[in-house]
Amino acid sequence: MNSKPPPPDDVAGLILAAGSGERLGGRYKALLTHKGETLLERVKRLAEPFCSQIITGLPKELLANHDGIEGGATRIETVRRLLAETERPYVLILEAARPFATAEQCSAVLAEAAVSGAALFAHQTPVRDSLAIARDGALETLLPRERIVQLQTPRACRTDWLKDALKYGEATHELILLQKAGYRTTLLPGSTDNIKITYPEDLALLES
């Protein structure tokens, strides 16, 4: 594996911060604070050493007071709008909702993407119960617990790969489209500390 990430001039940071915070009672995650700065400020600061261009997708209501572009109604639409704003060879994707990502992770995922084309972090979490996919009230497929992982940002990808993948339409996640387009994404070991702020009980993590 290449020990160095691409130079910042070759990287655009795409920050996903357009969510409505519905599961947090309608509170915008980008404006939550940790240690005196908003989560949006924190993630931007994290990206700056690695990116010569940073583009943020935000809710329309926040654009008057924050730099960025209006995000889409879905994650994929937000990614598509951000990607249209750059011609850098690589993109580093971060989420305002994941403020505990580290500079070391940004460096490692970019370095891997420079070699393999696309990379992200995955953390294997112990699962107590058996997991399965059901369809129409019937069992369809059992999932092997030992292979279940949680996917985390930061992620990095060749820009041309991601632009090509987005031609495959809508999906819940850009990784699904990369797979449809035939691009392999390399998994790096994730961390239990890299938590996504999603539910009200997660807010206590920002106070520590």
pLDDT of residue 119: 96
Q: What is the pLDDT of residue 128?
A: 85
108 contacts 28 by C-beta, under 8 angstroms: no
Q: Are strands 69-70 and 90-95 parallel, antiparallel or unpaired?
A: unpaired
CB 31 within 8 A of CB 38: yes
**What is the identity of the amino acid at 204?**
A
> What pLDDT is stored for residue 1 in this prediction?
47
Residue ranges of E strands in 116-160: 118-123, 131-135, 138-143, 150-158
Per-residue pLDDT at 52: 97
Task: Collect the ranges in the chain with pLDDT lower than 50.
Answer: 1-2
Q: Where are the domains of the chain?
A: 8-121+150-190
DSSP classification of residue 46 = H
Q: What's the pLDDT score for residue 187?
A: 95
pLDDT tens digit string along 87-133?
999 999 999 999 999 999 999 999 999 999 999 999 988 888 888 99
Supply the pLDDT for residue 54. Answer: 98
The pLDDT score that the predictor gives to residue 3 is 75
pTM: 0.92
Q: Is 189 exposed, middle or buried (0-12, 13-18, 19+ CB in 10 A)?
A: exposed
Q: 133-146: per-residue pLDDT in tens?
A: 999 999 999 988 88
What backbone phi and psi angles, to 5 degrees, belong to 106? -60, -45
* CATH top class, domain 8-121+150-190: alpha beta
**pLDDT value of position 167:** 93
